[in-house]
Amino acid sequence: MKYLLFLCSGNYYRSRFAEAVFNQAAIQRDLPWRAFSRGLATWMVAGDLSPFTEDALQQRGIDRALTGPTRVALTEPDLQRAHRVVAVKEAEHRPMMRDQFPDWEHRIDYWTIDDLDCATSEEALPLLEARVHALAAALAAEQA
C-alpha cells in the first residue's frame, strides 16, 4: 500500500474532504493507495470536522469513516510515511512548511484551493474534488 498525505492548516475542512474523496476513489478504482490528512496549524480551529466537510461528504454519499476521526497535527514521521504529499494551498502552506519542516518545503506538491476566508465551500470543495479525482486518475494510469 502507498500513502498520500493531504495537508492544510487546521486539518478540519479541506484536507479532510480531500482525504475522504480520494479514499473513496481509490477503493472504487482498486488503487493500492490510501490517503490520510494532517494540519500545520491545528490549534487554529476547534472541533473534529467542519460542518461544511460533513455536509459535502453526505451530499456525495461518501462515508465519513473515509477520513480520520479528528484533527491531527503534522509530524516528521507523517511526511516520511507518505509516498506523496499535497498541500492544498501554496500561498498559505508553503510558508508554514518552510517554518516547521524546512527540509520538506520543496518535496511536496502545492495546489491552490482557497479556505473559507477567500471562497465559499460551494466554490472551493468542487474544485478540490476535481483535483483529487484527477490525481486518482493519474495514479490509476501509472498503475496500468
**Cα(first)–Cα(last) distance of the chain, in Å?**
16
Q: What is the pLDDT along the chain (144 residues), one digit of tens a residue?
A: 999 999 999 999 999 999 999 999 999 999 999 999 999 999 999 899 999 999 999 999 999 999 999 999 999 999 999 999 999 999 999 999 999 999 999 999 999 999 999 999 999 999 999 999 999 999 999 987
The span from the CA of 38 to the CA of 107, in Å, is: 16
The span from the CA of 91 to the CA of 7, in Å, is: 13
What pTM did the predictor assign?
A: 0.96
Residues in contact with 49: Cβ distance below 8 Å, sequence separation at least 6, in sequence order: 12, 16, 64, 67, 70
Instruction: Please answer whether residues 37 and 70 qualify as being in contact, where contact means their C-beta atoms are separated by less than 8 angstroms.
Output: no
Q: Which domains does the chain have, with CATH numbers?
A: 2-143 (3.40.50.2300)
The span from the CA of 65 to the CA of 74, in Å, is: 20
